[in-house]
Each structure stands twice: as structure tokens, then as C-alpha cells.
């Protein structure tokens, strides 16, 4: 299931997503990506999650997207 929010989440709202290994996206709040990254690290999930930002160009600025995704550890088997 995809979770897309247009606002920052509180720690209590974000933590369950991270505990379940879910990906979360934030639309239209690209300027907050560093804050989200610090929040993920502060909740203790910095090693398990990557925070990335995709920016729309020109008129597509409203399509800016921040993704918080689990890091997949590659198996050498």
C-alpha cells in the first residue's frame, strides 16, 4: 500500500509506518526533506531508511515528492 501525505507527520504518526517497513511519500513539501530526514534518524531508523527528494521542473513544482523508503540489504548468496 502507498502512503502519500501533503503535510509533515508527527513522530507518533510516522513511527508505525517505519516499524512496519512501509514506504511513505510526501507531496508538495519538498523544502521539508531535511526535517523529515532528521525525524527518521531521531526515531532510530536512519540506518534502515533512505530519504530522497524528487523535484518537478518549471510549472510542475507542485509535483515535488519526498520518499522515505526502507533500505534493501543486498544478500551475497
pTM for this predicted structure: 0.83
- What topology does CATH give the domain 3-70? Translation Initiation Factor IF3 (3.30.110)
Domains of the chain, residue spans: 3-70
Determine the pLDDT at residue 17.
Answer: 97
Determine the pLDDT at residue 1.
Answer: 76
Q: Mean pLDDT of residues grouped by 10 in the chain (77 residues)?
A: 92 97 92 94 97 76 84 70
C-alpha cell at 22: 512501509
Determine the pLDDT at residue 2.
Answer: 81
Determine the pLDDT at residue 59.
Answer: 59
First to last CA, the chain: 29
Cα–Cα distance for residue pair 22/1, rounded to 1 Å? 8
Amino acid at each position: 500500500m502507498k502512503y502519500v501525505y501533503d503535510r509533515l507527520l508527527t513522530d507518533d504518526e510516522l513511527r508505525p509506518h517505519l516499524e512496519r517497513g512501509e514506504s511513505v511519500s510526501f507531496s508538495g513539501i519538498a523544502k521539508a526533506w531535511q526535517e523529515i530526514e532528521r525525524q527518521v534518524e531521531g526515531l532510530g531508523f536512519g540506518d534502515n531508511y533512505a530519504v530522497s527528494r524528487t523535484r518537478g521542473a518549471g510549472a510542475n513544482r507542485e509535483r515535488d515528492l519526498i520518499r522515505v523508503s526502507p533500505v534493501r540489504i543486498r544478500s551475497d548468496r
